[in-house]
Structure 1
Amino acid sequence: MTDAETTTHGASERTALPVEETADLVSRISDNVERVIVGHTDAIEHILITLFARGHLLLEDVPGVGKTMLARSIARSIDCSFKRVQFTPDLLPSDVTGVNVFDQKTREFEFQPGPVFGNVVLGDEINRAPPKTQSALLEAMEESQVTVDGTTHPLPNPFTVIATQNDVELSRTYELPIAEIDRFMKKLRLGYPNHADETEMLGRVANRHPIETLEAVATTEDVLRARETVSDVEVSEPIRSYVSKLATYTRDNAELGVSPRGSIALVRAAQARAVLDAREYVVPDDVQTELPSVWAHRIRPATGSETGETVAQAALEAVAVE
């Protein structure tokens, strides 16, 4: 087991990186990922914000646009443990979390960790598994631990889930439970590349795929210290009040508005956005930039003519910055 895998949440106190160094770290990782992924600079930035803000990410799109490759590239850019779970209809919760196995020699049960015990965990096509199996991630994503047969096992630190979701073949997939969707800090779509980006991508993979030679440019300790930096970013009372008013608007104007968990996620994402701009405090622009990707997937509109995106945008237009 690697050092990263033995580092559990809350195991030690760390010194935060200076804000400028954290911004440079994000740029270094982003540039490294772009050696593999072409034309998705904004998506890479969103993923790194999620990682440093202690969140989880849902990538939804059609097959073949690079969702899995993007997740792998992020993981390979950091010297950390990477685990992959291929979600299928016959996957069991224990296949994700792990299981207790009886040891004939010691006459005792021994816990065999599942693939969720990694620093970056890729849940590939998560909506192909039934809700019971998807629910195996609920405790892990919220509390960074799993409980098996009454015993709680802490997960590695850092711990981030990057899940992909197929939005076609709906008759062969399951809808994600709202409780699980709410645990994803962000939901993104990649979309198809434009002509120039696809031409560049084809040139890169014509011989050997660039991910085969991609090397780490950061350590898990870098990520942990950067997380401390993000946590230390000042969020003033007016900013907190602004986020609360935005959340209240969604609750008053949708069948299901943003939960307090969603408000916390937005604040943390805004803190990370501030660090990317080398600031030690959050400004309203940080909140406004992060809100669509953090809140749209959590909102259930009251009418069929609206979407989570339109309600989120309406909140930004209706709630004034004070």
Structure 2
Amino acid sequence: MKKIINDPNQVVQDMIEGMIAAYPNELKQISGTTAITRSEAPVQGKVGLVSGGGSGHEPAHAGYVGKGMLDAAVLGEVFTSPTPDQIYEAIKAVDGGNGVFLIIKNYTGDVLNFEMAMELAEADGIQVDKVIVNDDVAVEDSSFTIGRRGIAGTVLVHKIVGAKAEHGATLEEVKTVAEKAAGNIRSIGMALTPCTVPAAGKPSFQLAEDEMEIGIGIHGEAGIERKPITTADEIASELTEKILADMNLNNNEEVAIMVNGLGATPEMELYIINKKVNQLLTEKGIQIYKTFVGEYMTALEMTGCSVTLLKLDDELKELLNAKSEAPAFRN
């Protein structure tokens, strides 16, 4: 295993300190926790937004903490849910008196721990609500979930919900738009190579030199099919068709596209995937409103990508375009 780290058991804390050093005027760490908040948190009168999950998916989730997006991100150990007490501290830290909203990816540990923290906060008199993002169309149940997994589409939920909260929406209004966004997002990923959790010291799964896996999860969970590597166009076509088969998209409807790298995929290859995705949608009469290409939710050094489609209406377009000052999503 080759990693640019110090102690495998200290990678999360070392990363947090490095992030704070990079953005000292924008981010701060809640003392005694692995949670990061906006430097001005709590923002009085604004619904506070909290997300998070296991580390190893950078820039998710701490990279999306900033004006126009999240108020706090809670970082677990690598590929491990943060604990309820850490999430609870983040909720308290961003409560500006108008309630706190949680954006949770659908993994069993995340859901249980965030909901437990929610109960602790409610016992303190803090209004808390949530949305659970389950955008992965690959598999219905996995080793980490009951139901569909939450993957890169969660970033677009952060963006949309963050803009809604920044505009002064109530907790109920934030929940409404969160559910609309999450209900209109579909994603699927693929991988060419595995990744290595630092504390484990060996790859979490194996793929032969000539193999790829379609529908793989962001922790290396099994996908739909392991098969020989094929061309970028064929990969893009398979991913896009599986998403479209699960979406109700009509001619002339508008979408946002996200082509997301999983940690070790060159941008060149992501743009090649994007070219084919754009071509396929255009051929079907689907209007492409906005495209995002880059690394938004990774899996350490896994080689691969995911494709996300978000079906848009006027409200979602406005919120997607709204200003964001988060380090990993400047808009």
Normalised TM-score (structure 2): 0.27
Q: Which has the larger radius of gyration?
A: 1
Higher relative contact order (CA 8 A, sep 6+): 1
Considering fraction of residues, name the structure with more helix.
Answer: 1
**TM-score of the superposed pair, with normalisation by structure 1:** 0.27
